[in-house]
Amino acid sequence: MAEIPQVTLYTDGACSGNPGPGGWGVLLKFRNHRKELSGSERETTNNRMELTAAVNAFQALKEPCQVDIYTDSEYLKKGITEWIHNWKLLGWRRGSPGKTRALANADLWKHLDQVTSEHEVSWHWVRGHAGHPENERVDTLAREAMKKG
């Protein structure tokens, strides 16, 4: 049986105003290879850009992988590792049974859930703007994309 590829992903989102123009950045590392991705939206939020970065990172993978993903967004990490289970039980809503309300960014949470499902994923939080080289790079990619958008 072939060994499952091991990939490291770094993601970040940025927004000027909230809402406002936004950008996202991704750095994929596989063995000695590095690939950078970025994009932008004219009217969005920072949380949407954080989620969009993660979705695009996983969409770039060509086969099931062991993935270590690093983000400086507690919203993203806690959402996908802690909160998502209850959201799914509540029909992609938040709250408690009988007392639910709309889930912000439900479209992106559903998409992220789908694109991560075939991978073995370990989520890691890093402090933003703390000198972590890869996190600083994806922050730069997101900010540059935001300005171009």
Residues catalogued as catalytic: 12-13, 50, 72, 129, 139
Q: Which element (helix H / strand E) includes 143? A: helix 133-148
How many whole angstroms separate alpha carbon 147 and alpha carbon 23? 8
Q: Which residue has the tokens 């000695």?
A: 32
Q: Alpha-carbon torsion 123, 63, 51, 33, what sign?
A: positive
DSSP secondary structure of 4-68: PPEEEEEEEEEESSSSEEEEEEEEEEETTEEEEEEEEEEEE-HHHHHHHHHHHHHHT--S--EEE
